[in-house]
Amino acid sequence: MPLTPDMRRSIDQIRDYLYGGGYPDPVTNAEQLSFLFFFYLVEGIDAENLLKAKVLKTPYESMFAGDWTLKNPLNAPAPGQTTIPRERFRWSVWARGLTGEGLVRFLRDEVFAFFGELGEQAPHNFMNGARLTIDEPTVLAQVINLVDGLRLDQSDAGTKGDLFEHVEAFQNSSYATRSAGRRANYSIRPSLRPCDTTKYATERAYKNSWCAGCRGNRLCG
């Protein structure tokens, strides 16, 4: 299924919203979108892996099983609480349930750290150096709402590939030429299989790929 006009408009809205909100670097914006796409998609990938493991009668532990020790005590649901269920790292929980400074703080200090720890389990850390740069609450909330509205979990691999290619246009559009930001040697790549989405959409991640969605169980093969 090709990229729909509505999806194109949503990506263009994100681009323009970031630029107008004080984030002019198209390369950084494309990378931030790649992280958000991954955070969205991994919940569905984990569910697919759980189902596949059940059918094949093979062991599989969800990446959302167990507890997480908070990095920032301000993210604690109650005073003195130092851990939260890893279930809180599902997109459907934090992205749709948090707003304002709380959203920025949780995404910056917990979500990136959570997936950073997964990356450390990989042969090559695909999350090395990853951090949140969209730290203005209103801009971040709007971008997350627009990403959520793309419903990427309902798109096939071809559509996701077209989407990443459209995001790549950030670097080649007139918007990019207006940017005073740096130009890094990154390029967006389309994802081919469901688990390939966990490799991110940047050249760095493609070179250092590891299927975080399978947590080493290789259920995507």
What are the residue ranges spanned by the domains of the chain?
5-214
Alpha-carbon dihedral 92, 98, 99, 101, rounded to 10 degrees:
-130
Residues 6 or more apart from 158 whose CB is under 8 A from it?
A: 1, 2
Q: Write the pLDDT tens digit of every residue in 134-172.
A: 999 999 999 999 999 998 888 777 777 777 777 777 666
125 or 23: whose pLDDT is higher?
A: 23
**Residues 22, 156: Cα–Cα separation, whole Å:** 33
**Distances from the Cα of 28 to the Cαs of 23, 99, 159, 193, 204, in angstroms?**
9, 23, 23, 25, 13
Work out the average pLDDT over 26-32: 90
**What is the pLDDT at residue 79?**
92
Single pTM value for the model: 0.77
**What is the pLDDT at residue 215?**
44
User: How big is the chain, counted in residues?
Assistant: 221
* Dihedrals phi, psi of 83, to nearest 5 degrees: -130, 160
CA quadruple 121, 191, 47, 99: dihedral positive or negative?
Answer: positive
pLDDT of 213 higher than 70 = no
Nearest-5° Cα angle at 88, 82 to 93: 145
Using only C-alpha atoms, what is the Rg of the chain? 17
Nearest-5° Cα angle at 166, 165 to 168: 65
